Amino acid sequence: MLGEFHSTTNSARDYYYKYLIFNEKYAAAIPLVMEIIHFEKSRDNDEYQLMERYKQLYALEGLTENWPAEEAALIMVIRLAQEVLGRDSEDYTAGVEALAYNYCVQKKYYEYFQLIKEQQIEISCLSENRN
């Protein structure tokens, strides 16, 4: 038995993830990415790599239109981007913009206005133009 942290197991996860994405099985890829995130957190805790995994998760949740889960993943992307790269980074800005659109889609207008005021950004709230 190789174990969940063995390099062969990690490679298998990565290849399986690529297989699922290539075949557009986005919903099936979500639990796998969550498992990879759990693995990353328990291992060396590379926050940049963790941010990249949360970006994958946010994208998958958006593709499956699971807006509350996408929101949670985006909040993690924003937090990690701020810690690792700073508020001036593209990842931070893109995460904030995506979260604003997410709030619009969910009709969380209070959170949307609070976010754009706090971040001092201008994003129109037209949820039908999401994709």
Domain harbouring 116, CATH code: 1.25.40.10
How far apart are the C-alpha atoms of 127 and 115, rounded to whole Å?
16
Domains contained in the chain, number: 1
Identify whether 114 is part of a domain.
yes
Q: Domain limits at 36?
A: 7-129
Identify whether 11 is part of a domain.
yes
Identify whether 89 is part of a domain.
yes
pLDDT tens track for 19-49: 999 999 999 999 999 999 998 888 777 899 9
How far apart are the C-alpha atoms of 18 and 79, rounded to whole Å?
26
pLDDT tens track for 105-125: 999 999 999 999 999 988 888
Using the predicted structure, report yes or no on whether residue 130 has a pLDDT greater than 50.
no
The pTM (predicted TM-score) of the whole model is 0.88
